């Protein structure tokens, strides 16, 4: 996994993707996958992600997710 991550980061730097953009995209995808695995159950997804339910709800709003994509 470490090699995949290093390769991905190198590619993103090469393509001039900024840190804020990369972190935002990663966070959004991480949340989307957790919500998918929990069938949109935000309480369970928050538990899986290790964040408070309110934090997840705020991040869903920030990333304009509908809660289960």
Give the tens place of pLDDT for each residue, 1-13.
999 999 999 999 9
Q: Quick check: is 10 in a domain?
A: no
Residue 66: the pLDDT is 77
CA gap 30, 59 in Å, rounded: 11
CATH of the domain at 31: 1.10.10
Within-domain flag for 62: yes
- Residues with Cβ within 8 Å of 46's Cβ and at least 6 positions away in sequence, in order, are 52, 53, 55, 56
Q: Would the pLDDT of 68 be above 70?
A: no
- Lookup result for tokens 């090699």: 3
Q: pLDDT (tens digit, 9 = 90+) per residue, 25-65?
A: 999 999 999 999 999 999 999 999 999 999 999 999 999 99
Q: How confident is residue 69, by pLDDT bands cut at 50, 70 and 90?
A: very low
Indicate the pTM of the whole model: 0.82
Number of domain units in the chain: 1
């Amino acid at each position: 996994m470490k090699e995949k991550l290093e390769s991905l980061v190198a590619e993103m730097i090469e393509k001039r993707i900024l840190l804020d953009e990369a972190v935002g995209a990663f966070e959004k995808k991480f949340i989307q996958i957790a919500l998918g695995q929990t069938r949109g159950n935000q309480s369970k997804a928050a538990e899986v992600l290790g964040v408070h339910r309110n934090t997840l709800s705020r991040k869903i709003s920030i990333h304009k997710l509908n809660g289960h994509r």
